[in-house]
């Protein structure tokens, strides 16, 4: 009697195993949160050091047009104007996205609305495979095809914003196309049927019904592509020329946040102003990544409401 009571009161081996399983899962979650927080903390604390420790003003950093952290400017402060890189990053990203969007959506329409069988059987797997092509391959193609082509067409060195934008355009094309295809496919069939039943032509249906109701998803795809373009480092660095100058036209060497980071991070000493200011550039990248993330969430919510 006593024995069986004791046995009932004790936790069995099985239930202990259950507890262990739950604990492990919880620890993994805690680990993820810890990782995210420490990334934010480490990059932010380094990036902010430029302003707190080295006394660079945030306005000078964001609006200054001369980047030469090693030397002192006329006002007695280091030349840490990051505007050339910020402008470079935004121009390259927007150009690439602006060119890629129509092509990606056009290709997606072709794959879902015009020839769905070929699209589903051949083109979609192909696009999904191509999403994984390493960015260094795009950079190398840019270096050996786009840059010489630019040099021969426009003169100069061939390195520049337009070369970077072309490389990024091709790089984000599979991603944006593949996401657009998923979105167009998720438009319910009865939308199309209802539109066709009302006498709309196929093109009117695609343009007025399918694209309209897929807009939030398509926007998400484009923002996703932009985020990828904005954060791409080596492929851009190989073709943009990496001159930290205010971009005056599209065919002379310029630079982006990522390209200056990859070029200079290895050549500066940890803890110096030259190094800290690079971390400030990394902080801008991080903030922009968070911004793109919030933007996609917001679009998703808006789209869900409609």
Residues 99-118 that bind another protein (CB under 8 A): 102-107, 109-111, 114
Nearer to another protein, 80 or 275 (CB): 275
Question: CB under 8 A: which stretch of 40-48, 52-60, 68-76, 211-219 binds another protein?
Answer: 40-48
Q: Is 174 one of the binding residues for another protein (CB under 8 A)?
A: yes
Q: Which residues pair with 78 in a beta bridge?
A: 72
**Among 63, 193, 203, 272, interactor with another protein by CB under 8 A:** 203
Strands (E), 31-186: 67-72, 78-80
Binding test (CB under 8 A) with another protein, winner from 9, 33, 59, 304 = 33
- CB closer to another protein out of 72 and 122: 122
The piece of 48-56, 57-65, 155-163, 170-178 that touches another protein (CB under 8 A) is: 170-178
- Minimal distance, residue 34 CB to another protein, in Å: 10
Give how many residues touch another protein by CB under 8 A: 83
Among positions 60-99, residues that touch another protein (CB under 8 A) are: none
Query: Which positions ≥6 away from 188 have C-beta within 8 Å?
Result: none
Which of 100, 164, 102, 104 minimizes the C-alpha distance to 135?
A: 164
Q: How far is CA 130 from the centre of its chain?
A: 17
Rounded alpha-carbon distances, angstroms, from residue 29 to 6, 23, 231? 35, 10, 26
Q: For the CB of residue 163, give the shortest distance to another protein in the complex, in Å.
A: 15
The one segment of 76-84, 154-162, 190-198, 286-294 that binds another protein by CB under 8 A: 286-294
For residues 235 and 172, the answer to whether their CB atoms sit within 8 Å is no
State how far the Cα of 8 lies from the Cα of 14, in Å rounded to an integer: 13
| Interface of this chain with another protein, residues 121 to 160, rule: CB under 8 A | 123, 125-141, 143-145
What is the smallest separation between the CB atom of 100 and another protein, expressed in angstroms?
9
Q: Does 29 bind another protein (CB under 8 A)?
A: yes
Contact call for residues 246 and 83 (beta carbons, < 8 A): yes
Q: Is 10 in the site for another protein (CB under 8 A)?
A: no
Place of tokens 């492990």: 24
CB closer to another protein out of 213 and 276: 276
Q: At what angle do helices 211-231 and 273-305 cross, to 10 degrees?
A: 170
Q: Which residues pair with 67 in a beta bridge?
A: 80
Q: Which is nearer to another protein, 16 or 65 (CB)?
A: 16
User: Quick one: 72 or 106, whose CB is closer to another protein?
Assistant: 106
| Cβ partners under 8 Å of residue 254, min gap 6 | 84, 88, 160, 161, 164, 240, 241, 243, 245, 247
Binding another protein (rule: CB under 8 A), the pick from 11, 35, 249, 302 is 35
Contacts of 243 (CB under 8 A, 6+ apart): 252, 253, 254, 255
220-239 binders of another protein (CB under 8 A): 227, 230-234, 238
Selected from 8, 9, 28, 305, the binder of another protein by CB under 8 A is 28
Pick between residue 61 and residue 279 the one whose CB is nearest to another protein: 279
Tell me the two tokens of residue 40.
Answer: 């934010």
For another protein, the binding residue among 186, 201, 249, 272 (CB under 8 A) is 201
What lies within 8 Å, CB to CB, of 141 at 6+ separation is 167, 170
């Amino acid at each position: 009697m006593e024995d069986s009571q004791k046995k009932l009161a004790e936790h069995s081996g099985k239930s202990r195993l259950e507890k262990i399983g739950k604990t492990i899962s919880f620890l993994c979650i805690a680990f993820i949160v810890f990782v995210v927080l420490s990334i934010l903390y480490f990059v932010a604390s380094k990036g902010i050091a430029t302003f707190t420790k080295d006394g660079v003003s945030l306005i000078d950093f964001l609006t200054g047009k001369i980047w030469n952290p090693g030397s002192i400017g006329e006002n007695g402060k280091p030349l840490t104007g990051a505007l050339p890189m910020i402008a470079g990053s935004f121009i390259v990203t927007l150009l690439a996205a602006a060119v890629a969007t129509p092509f990606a959506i056009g290709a997606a329409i072709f794959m879902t609305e015009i020839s769905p069988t070929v699209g589903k059987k051949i083109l979609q797997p192909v696009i999904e495979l191509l999403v994984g092509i390493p960015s260094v391959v795009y950079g190398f193609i840019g270096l050996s095809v786009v840059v010489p082509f630019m040099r021969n067409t426009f003169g100069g060195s061939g390195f520049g914003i337009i070369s970077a934008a072309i490389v990024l355009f091709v790089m984000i094309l599979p991603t944006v196309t593949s996401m657009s295809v998923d979105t167009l496919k998720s438009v319910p069939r009865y939308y199309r049927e209802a539109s066709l039943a009302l006498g709309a032509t196929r093109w009117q249906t695609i343009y007025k019904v399918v694209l309209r109701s897929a807009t939030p998803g398509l926007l998400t795809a484009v923002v996703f592509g932009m985020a990828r373009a904005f954060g791409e480092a080596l492929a851009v660095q190989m073709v943009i020329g990496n001159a930290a100058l205010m971009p005056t036209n599209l065919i002379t060497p310029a630079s982006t946040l990522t390209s200056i980071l990859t070029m200079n991070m290895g050549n500066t000493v940890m803890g110096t102003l030259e190094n800290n200011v690079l971390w400030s550039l990394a902080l801008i990248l991080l903030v922009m990544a968070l911004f793109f993330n919030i933007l996609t969430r917001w679009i998703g919510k808006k789209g869900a409401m409609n």
